[in-house]
Amino acid sequence: MMDLQDIRRDFRKGTLTRDELIDDPIEQFKLWMQQALSTDLVDPTAMVLATGARDGQVSQRVVLLKGLDERGFVFFTNYESRKSREISVNSKVSLHFPWFAIERQVMVCGVAEKVTLEESRAYFQSRPRDSQLAAWASPQSRVLNSREALTQQLENLQKKYADLEIPLPEFWGGYRVRPSQIEFWQGGANRLHDRFVYSLQPGQAWQIERLAP
């Protein structure tokens, strides 16, 4: 067995108190995101998306946050991918922002729903052409016979759309995760971390509670 018991570190970069928190968790998240962006943190917009299949099996993968407002957290993907198939049978998902370098984490629980066609098209058109073509080329989550088959498909599409605008695939678009719970975690000394959870109440009010680490 690989022995990892002695790998540990202490957390001393800061603390978090109730008085510091903004009453609106979306505004609090925006503040933390801006602070993360101002550091040399690698991929601060990367988040782990967890979904559950019909049989209860949970899966995770990293996606990128591409938009945020009072309605929720937006990411884009292939609508025929594993994550999308699981969302279609269980729209309850969770997001995790692992900002370990700055000793912070944010966890989000909510419901995923498709964004509008206009939102998907606007984002797709903003992507680099190679990223647009890759969306067409990749049958995401499907079994591939070889890497060469994938690259050949990309080359075929590069030729097909050489002088044309690349359209939005009908199988590609965005999801918005409407949060019902958002937790902010700040690492603390002696494993006494600071955790605060915002829970959405009837009438769309947010309740804030401190959790034990």
- Sign of the torsion formed by the C-alpha atoms of 81, 87, 89 and 94: positive
Q: CA-CA distances (angstroms) from residue 135 to 37, 73, 77, 120?
A: 27, 21, 8, 13
In DSSP terms, 210 is beta-bridged to 196
Is 46 exposed, middle or buried (CB count within 10 Å of its CB: 0-12, 13-18, 19+)?
Answer: middle
Backbone φ and ψ of 93, nearest 5°: -135, 170
Active-site annotation holder among 12, 18, 54, 191: 191
Distance in angstroms (rounded) separating the CA atoms of residues 164 and 182: 43
Backbone φ and ψ of 184, nearest 5°: -110, 125
- Name which of 169, 129, 136 is nearest 153 in CA terms: 136
Active site residue 129: no
Which tokens sit at 92?
């309850």
Count other Cβ atoms within 10 Å, centred on residue 68: 16
Which active-site residues does the annotation give? Answer: 191
